[in-house]
Chains A and B, each alone.
Chain A
């Protein structure tokens, strides 16, 4: 089920990048809301990736 959900996520959003995930930073003004959609849908967005602690 999880795999299908992830697969659908990738297919639907293949043409343009987009995600809607909860903001986990409690000191962020959008804490608890989903970003970048809908909170920042009218913004130029910079996505900073980290894969190491």
Chain B
């Protein structure tokens, strides 16, 4: 499971986490999991198992429940045959359809930095009369001199 999380993150799905939900009464799984993984492990309190009860009728043995950012259910997959190619593909598809890429306003070239290169690219956008969501810093639907001013302020540390 750790390897799969790494694979997902290497494909650009940084904000993905796989959490194991064990039980306080199954120490074998809990200890085996922690010995072979760097993924979070939480323990559902036996005998009431409130986490499992919350997910009911899901939350069965070997089931992976995929939730959106706000906790809504996206899909489930039961690993009856382990985490094989088919399972990975299915889960990856669900994530790909729902993953939200974060946009750093002002980072026109998407290098995770805001600097003079982004100003140049923004000027080029204005001259070409093109629109770019990252360049529209004031979100008025137009890329113009006001966005350049805001971009300069960000670089100078006077804005966000």
Contact = CB atoms under 8 A, between A and B. Distances in A.
Interface residues of A, number: 39
Interface in B26-77: 26-30, 32-34, 37-43, 45, 48, 50-55, 59-74
A51 B30 CA distance: 10
Contact of A45 (B17, B27, B52, B53): B17
A43 B64 contact: no
A24 B21 contact: no
Interface residues of B, number: 55
B98 A44 contact: yes
B20 interface: yes
A35 B34 contact: no
Contacts of B50: 6, 9-10, 19
Interface string A4-48: 001001100110111101111111111100011001111111111
Interface centre among B33, B48, B72 (most CB of A within 10 A): B48
B95 interface: yes
A40 B17 contact: yes
A53 to B, nearest CB: 3
A45 B43 contact: no
B142 interface: no
B62 A28 contact: no
A28 to B, nearest CB: 5
A47 B64 contact: yes
Nearest to A46: B18
B9 to A, nearest CB: 11
B15 interface: yes
Interface of A: 2-3, 6, 9-10, 13-14, 16-19, 21-31, 35-36, 39-53
